[in-house]
Amino acid sequence: MDFQLTEEQLAVQAAARDFAQNELWAGVIERDEHQKFPAEQIKKMGELGFMGMMVSPEYGGSGLDTVSYVLAMEEISKVDASCSVIMSVNNSLVCWGLEKFGTEEQKQKYLTKLASGEIIGAFCLSEPEAGSDATMQRTTAEDKGDYYLLNGTKNWITNGSSASVYLVIAQTNPELKSRGINVLIVDKDTPGFTIGPKENKLGIRGSDTHSLMFNDVKVPKENRIGPDGFGFKFAMQVLAGGRIGIAAQALGIASGALELSLKYAQQRKAFGVEIAKHQAIQFKLADMATEIDAARLLCLKAASDKDQQLDYSKSGAMAKLFSSKVAMDSAVEAVQIHGGYGFVKEYHVERLMRDAKITQIYEGTSEIQKIVISRELLK
């Protein structure tokens, strides 16, 4: 087994780290404080190829592998998890889904702009009564012949007001249950589509999260992705890949917490010496580093499985389950290592702690990941 990264992968990692440190770090506290969407930073990420990393150059993407995507996600997430979740949704859920299952016309019309970062997309699955249980869709897409009439509400939508293109999961044939669900491409300016107020969140405050309302929205039949009834399968397949991106985000948050803790521990003195020389702090740092390396290996294993076209359902769920726990644990320890300074914003670790929690919730809670893992084990 080769644990060495290729020169191209190392170059991607270095470019992402350079961008995060030089372009994201300076304003990250202000963006978090004021819930400011990082529009300028996301535009630059598009120019650098980070918004369509796995998309073929034929459609404006970077044509990179999933391992490179994980490496870039980790570096961006070390500094600003709000930027990385915007990047993750656009890459893993929207671009990948369109390239994998969309028609050539859909790819030319939407994917090229999404992959280049000219526009960004949103994935709309969750509802007030359909979060983890994706089969319970209350949003309906009534077949009207040459178009669908879309009605319903979506909750917790990342890029809710900043996206230009929305992939909406809706029920067309309730009697068929999961086999009656479709996925439709909805343009932002479509009549009857409205965006609710921004959610005031605990973490990832720079990303814009909204509820979306659809009131007799006419969606042309050509905007359906895949055959009739493919929507549930589409959602499950893109979410399986999405878990890898969120696992990498969690890994980045944990890595960022460790880097800040190492730096602080070598500067802060207590009882006449740097606190890094105290065994209690050394034990914390050692535990953090060990768990982070284990999480990184799980993330890279899942990414490698995807690149080799192997089944990555289990490895992706394992990576997401473990990495999100490590993110939360590492961020809490980072605050503890910083002591009172860890409780104030200027030292960044309190923000990492707030950001870490969401990695245990979206793309399926930890309990959902355990269900996926056990299902694969019991096959």
260 and 357 co-located in one domain: yes
Percent pLDDT > 70 in the chain is 100
Take residue 327 and report the two structure tokens written for it: 């993110």
Give pLDDT tens digits for 265-307: 999 999 999 999 999 999 999 999 999 999 999 999 999 999 9
Q: What pLDDT shows up at residue 279?
A: 97
Assign residue 279 the CATH number of its domain. Answer: 1.20.140.10
321 and 266 co-located in one domain: yes
Give the containing element (helix H, strand E) for 375. helix 366-377
Q: What pLDDT shows up at residue 60?
A: 95
Mean pLDDT of 246-258: 98
Final residue belonging to a domain, choices 120, 135, 165: 120
1 domain residue, yes or no = no
254 and 356 co-located in one domain: yes
Mean model confidence pLDDT for the chain: 97
pLDDT of 363 > 90? The answer is no
Final residue belonging to a domain, choices 205, 231, 257: 231
224 and 243 co-located in one domain: no
Q: What pLDDT shows up at residue 108?
A: 98
155 and 255 co-located in one domain: no
State how far the Cα of 190 lies from the Cα of 26, in Å rounded to an integer. Answer: 37
CA torsion angle for 328, 329, 331, 333 (degrees, to 10)? 160
Q: Which residues contact 28 (CB under 8 A, 6 or more apart)?
A: 79, 80, 206, 348, 351
Lowest-confidence range among 151-160, 226-235, 344-353, 357-366? 357-366
> What distances in angstroms separate CA 367 from CA 111, 211, 358, 373, one per listed residue?
33, 24, 14, 10
Mean pLDDT of 249-274: 97
Query: What is the Cα gyration radius of the chain?
Result: 21
Final residue belonging to a domain, choices 61, 85, 120: 120
User: Angle, to 10 degrees, between the axis of helix 279-307 and the axis of helix 231-265?
Assistant: 150
Judge contact between 279 and 287, C-beta under 8 A: no
52 and 160 co-located in one domain: no
Burial class (CB in 10 A: 0-12, 13-18, 19+), 233: middle
pLDDT of 132 > 70? The answer is no
32 and 103 co-located in one domain: yes
Take residue 240 and report the two structure tokens written for it: 């399986």
> What distances in angstroms separate CA 152 from CA 93, 137, 262, 270, 329, one per listed residue?
21, 9, 49, 58, 38
> What distances in angstroms separate CA 30 from CA 35, 36, 161, 335, 346, one per listed residue?
8, 8, 20, 20, 10
pLDDT of 170 > 90? The answer is yes
pLDDT of 133 > 80? The answer is no
2 domain residue, yes or no = no
Q: Check the CA dihedral 322-323-325-330 and report its sign.
A: positive
197 domain residue, yes or no = yes
298 and 315 co-located in one domain: yes
100 and 139 co-located in one domain: no
Give the containing element (helix H, strand E) for 170. strand 165-171
Domain with 280 in it: 239-378
Which residues are known to be catalytic? 363
Assign residue 146 the CATH number of its domain. Answer: 2.40.110.10
Give pLDDT tens digits for 299-339: 999 999 999 999 999 999 999 999 999 999 999 999 999 99
pTM above 0.75, yes or no: yes
Mean pLDDT of 10-18: 98
102 and 218 co-located in one domain: no
136 and 12 co-located in one domain: no
Give the containing element (helix H, strand E) for 17. helix 7-19
96 and 13 co-located in one domain: yes
**Which position has the token pair 């960044």?**
348
Please count the structural domains in the chain.
Answer: 3
CA 50 to chain centre: 13
